[in-house]
């Protein structure tokens, strides 16, 4: 049973970003399931690595869209991304160093952060990108 499920409430109304978020949620759930089931460390590590790397890729993707379309709130949005990335990376390094308590902290932190960020800042970005698209038509 996934602890984070995709739903309409999480849609930002912009398909390219929603697609990323669906993938992010799938990776998150895989890592969570493995950590909860105390799967072999190498397996949990592999899934956490994929989750962290994909999160970085996705932030770059969103930031590229913001730059391309001259998003007015780019700086504050980027700052939110950096704060999450810094915190998540710090915990991830701690895990690689042997601290097995990390998934129990990192995964709830990510779940709460992702939900709040998607429904707040990312939705504002989705609205902006949709407005931009309408102006282009
Ligand atoms: Fe974002």
Read off the pLDDT of residues 68-124 as tens digits, 9 standing for 90 and up: 999 999 999 999 999 999 999 999 999 999 999 999 999 999 999 999 999 999 999
CB-based burial, 7-33: b 16+ in 10 Å, e otherwise: eeebbbebeebbebbeebbebbbbbbe
Over residues 30-52, mean pLDDT: 94
Residues 57 and 97: their CA atoms lie apart, in Å, by 24
CA of 99 to the centre of ligand 1 (A): 28
What percentage of the chain exceeds 70 in pLDDT?
Answer: 95
CA of 50 to the centre of ligand 1 (A): 18
Residues 11 and 89: their CA atoms lie apart, in Å, by 26
What percentage of the chain exceeds 90 in pLDDT?
Answer: 89
Q: Which of 53, 32, 50, 40 is nearest to 102 (CA)?
A: 32
What does 74-99 look like in DSSP terms, one character per residue? HHHHHHHHHHHHHHHHHHHHHHHTT-
pLDDT confidence of residue 136: 64
CA of 39 to the centre of ligand 1 (A): 30
Q: Do the Cβ atoms of 59 and 85 come closer than 8 Å?
A: yes
CA of 15 to the centre of ligand 1 (A): 14
Residues 13 and 102: their CA atoms lie apart, in Å, by 33
What domains appear along the chain, each with residue ranges and CATH number? 27-33+40-136 (1.20.120.50)
pLDDT confidence of residue 28: 96
């Amino acid at each position: 049973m996934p602890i984070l499920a995709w739903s309409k409430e999480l849609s930002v109304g912009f398909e390219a970003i929603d697609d990323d978020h669906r993938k992010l949620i799938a990776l998150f759930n895989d890592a969570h399931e493995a950590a909860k089931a105390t799967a072999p460390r190498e397996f949990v590590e592999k899934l956490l690595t994929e989750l962290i790397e994909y999160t970085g890729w996705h932030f770059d993707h969103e930031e590229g869209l913001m730059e391309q379309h001259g998003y007015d709130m780019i700086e504050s949005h980027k700052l939110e991304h950096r704060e999450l990335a810094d915190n998540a990376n710090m915990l991830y390094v701690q895990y690689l160093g042997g601290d097995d308590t990390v998934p129990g902290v990192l995964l709830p932190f990510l779940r709460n952060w992702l939900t709040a960020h998607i429904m707040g800042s990312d939705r504002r970005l989705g609205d902006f990108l949709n407005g931009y698209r309408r102006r282009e038509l």
